[in-house]
Each structure stands twice: as C-alpha cells, then as structure tokens.
Amino acid sequence: MPDSKFTIVHTDSQTQARIGKLRTAHGVINTPIFMPVGTRGTVKTCSPHDLVQIGAEIILGNTYHLYLRPGHRVVEQAGGLHKFTAWKKPMLTDSGGFQVFSLGPLRTIAEEGVEFRSEIDGSKHFISPERSIEIQNALGADIIMIFDECPPLPSDYSYLKQSMEMTLRWAERCKKAHRNRNQQLFGIVQGGMEKSLRKISVERTAEIGFPGYAIGGLSVGEEKPLMYETLAYTAPLLPKDSPHYLMGVGTPEDLVYGVSCGVDMFDCVMPTRNARNGSLFTTLGTIKMRNAKYKTDFTPLDPNCICHTCQNFTRAYLRHLHLENEILAHRLLTLHNLHFYLSLMRGIRRAIGEGTFSRLMADIGALVQLGQDQEKKETASGNTITEGRDSRNLASKLSQDTSNRKRRRERI
C-alpha cells in the first residue's frame, strides 16, 4: 500500500462525514473540498488570483483536452501545468477516460486501449493506460487518475462486469507505468448501479493499492434516488484511511449527501456552466438571471453573500450584462457560484467539527452562511483558523433563521 498522505482530523458521530488534510507537492488540501473545473488549463473567465481570493484550494484539469491542445509536451516544456497556468496550489488531472468514452461512434475500445478521432480536426489518436499516465506525468498535476472505462447507461450486467474487469486490469497497468513519485495516482471504482460489482471493484482496486480512491460512473443519467443508493453503498466500502473522491458530482445537495456518506473530494462543471447560462445559486434559492422581474431590482444577487459580485453589483446590472452577453457577466456570475460552492464546503467542514452537520444537512443556506462566517474570521485575523473551532451559538442562530429564509425565497 502506498504511503498515506491523508490524515483524518475529525469524524462526525451521526454520519460518515469526516474532516481531513491531504498533503500534496503543492500544499495541503482541507477536506471535504470542492475542486473548480479548469478543463483546458483555465477555470473559464477566472484568473488564478480570482480563484485564490474566493478560497479555491485545488483545481482540476482535463487530460484529454490538454493532450489534444496545446499538447502535453508543450506543457512539460513550460515546466508543467503549474508554471504553464501560473497556478501555485494543488491540481488534479483526470485520465481522459470519460471524455474519450463520451465520443461514442468516434472511438473504438479494445483491451490495449482506445482509438478515437479528435473532435478538433478528426485526426486519429490512441490512448492506452500507459499513454494516459505518460501524458499525466508530463502535465505534472499533484493528483492523477487511472485510465478507466465509464460504461454508458443503460448497460446490462454482462457489459458492466466486463467493463469493470477491464478497468481493474488497466488500473494495474497504470500503476506499473506511473513514474513521477511527486504525483499521487488514485484508483477508480466502477460497476454501474450493480452493488455486487461495486463491492468487487472496491475490493480489487484496494488490493492493487492506491493512495486515494474515486467513485466513477455516477451522475451519468441515472435517477437521483438510484445514484444516492449506489453512493451510500459504495463510499463506506472504500479504504477508510484514504481520501474518497466522487467524480463529476454535482448539485449543492449532492455534495452535502456525498459528505454524509464519507466522500472527501468533489468536482463538477455545474457552478461555472450554470453561471454562464445565468443560473445562480443563492442562500434564498436559485435565481434565473433572464427573468424580467430583475430588470429594476437594485438589490444584491444574494443579500447574505460576501463575495465580490454581491458586495458590488445589483441584480439589475448583472441581468443587463447577461442579456448583452458581456464577458464581465460570465466572470462575475462564475465568481459568485464558485464562492457559493466553496463557502458551502467551508461551512460543512466547520459543522462537522462542531457536531452540527447532521442537524444542518437539510439547510444549504445555513451551511453556506456558516462557511462565510468562517471566511470573515479568517480574513479579519489574517490567518487560517483551525476548522472546527467552536461556533455552536452561530450554528443555532443560523438554524433558527431557516424559517425566515424560506419566506424570503418567495421574493426571488
């Protein structure tokens, strides 16, 4: 088993939730954590400085897209993704498996790997487990992923079993090919919605041995209750002393539920993509920016939010920018949505440490405000306050404010 770089700081007595610290070559990550997605080497419309300001601790890059353009050798020549993008904190790259398998008729799967045509110019390419690791070693992220097959839905039991077994063989090949010991290579658990296959996948992936484990193949079109059922079954089976990563999920409610199941890491394009489409997360509910009722609404996007967007701009102005398709709209709305997600995770960490997580699980707004209170204290002190410091009085007040917040939602 690889040396553990993950430390569990505190566990929740009512759920599987835990606070942890994951050490990487570019810094320590506080978990549970949300990772903004920087598919092509950038979180769309955000600079590295923007991301640091809103509290991002780690971002994600996409191996498939960076391989196609600008090319992993270009990034390697620049000194790796960190120097190429001027991001100084931890990074994670996925293996490119999900994107390759999403190409449908443009790709052919075999035991050796996957042949596919570029979505850019139609040129032919081949990625094997070894090739995926070679690319990720060159990109130089702190955490990299095995090359896996993400089976489509619906798939029958026979296909899911064959796919899972091939992913296990590919996992072994990835581990053998991995050369850069400054990078942590995570395994990925597959098996569709079949619990028996998920169990086998967890056990055999753990036998191969990785410093961290991801749950793949969820949020690919299944109904939410089925996703939650599969997640609740799978996450507790993962090795307890390793970080658990739920790939490509999801809504704020998904993140809270995932944490309650023992998940430590999340990524999703939802906050950034939704922002560009004018759909905003607030403590009062979702705001659709195109709605005509905001034309003369000169109040903040979220009156409870302390992000740059909410402290400086009105709904009316943001709506105007969005309707005009101004770049500034994409940037300001993206910063708000990401700040919302990161505040949620900060609030979750604090609630776990204080023993209030199970009580606040159903109140996303309360968790976000708890996180923003933590952010204010950290800003005022100039230091990072230890997660879990006592704030039971604040948590109680936030819980009591729930009914008031529900009534205010009708206003938006």
Q: What is the pLDDT of residue 149?
A: 93
Inform me whether the pLDDT recorded for 404 exceeds 80.
no
Q: What is the pLDDT of residue 98?
A: 82
Tokens matching residue 300: 């903040």
Cα separation of 54 and 35, whole Å?
A: 12
Q: What is the pLDDT of residue 217?
A: 95
Domain boundaries, the chain: 6-267, 274-409
In the chain, % of residues over pLDDT 70: 92
Q: What is the pLDDT of residue 386?
A: 43
Q: What is the pLDDT of residue 405?
A: 58
Banded model confidence at residue 412, pLDDT cuts 50, 70, 90? low
| Averaged pLDDT, 278-299 | 98
Inform me whether the pLDDT recorded for 390 exceeds 80.
no
Q: What is the pLDDT of residue 106?
A: 82
- Least Cα distance to 336 among 278, 376, 378, 394 occurs for 278
Tokens 């990109």, located at residue: 139
Inform me whether the pLDDT recorded for 397 exceeds 80.
no
pLDDT digits (tens, 9 = 90+) for 105-134: 888 999 999 999 998 999 999 999 999 999
Banded model confidence at residue 266, pLDDT cuts 50, 70, 90? very high
Q: Contact, 198 vs 234, CB < 8 A?
A: yes
| Averaged pLDDT, 362-372 | 98
Question: How does DSSP assign 110-157, residue by residue?
Answer: ETTEEEEE-TTT--EEEE-HHHHHHHHHHHT-SEEE-------SS--H
> HSE-up of 131 (CA within 13 Å, CB side)?
12
54 burial (CB, 10 Å; 0-12 / 13-18 / 19+) is buried
Banded model confidence at residue 409, pLDDT cuts 50, 70, 90? low
CATH number of the 6-267 domain: 3.20.20.105
Range name among 32-41, 44-53, 333-342, 375-384 with the lowest pLDDT average: 375-384
Q: What is the pLDDT of residue 387?
A: 46
* 120 phi, psi to nearest 5 deg: -85, -50
Inform me whether the pLDDT recorded for 384 exceeds 60.
no
Banded model confidence at residue 391, pLDDT cuts 50, 70, 90? very low
Instruction: Cite the active site residues.
Output: 94, 267
Residue 268: Cβ within 10 Å count: 23
Q: Is there a shared CATH topology between the 6-267 domain and the 274-409 domain?
A: yes
Q: What distance lies between CA 15 and its chain's CA centroid?
A: 21
Q: Which is it for the CA torsion 266, 272, 275, 277, positive or negative?
A: negative
Inform me whether the pLDDT recorded for 1 exceeds 60.
no
Length of the chain: 412
Q: What is the pLDDT of residue 383?
A: 61
274-409 topology per CATH: TIM Barrel (3.20.20)
Cα separation of 93 and 373, whole Å?
A: 31
In the chain, % of residues over pLDDT 90: 85
| Side chain identity at residue 73, one-letter code | R
pLDDT digits (tens, 9 = 90+) for 135-165: 999 999 999 999 999 998 899 999 999 999 9
> Which tops the pLDDT comparison, 82 or 98?
82
Question: SS3 of 51, please?
Answer: helix
Inform me whether the pLDDT recorded for 313 exceeds 90.
yes
Q: What is the pLDDT of residue 103?
A: 80
Mean per-residue pLDDT of the chain:
93
Inform me whether the pLDDT recorded for 408 exceeds 80.
no
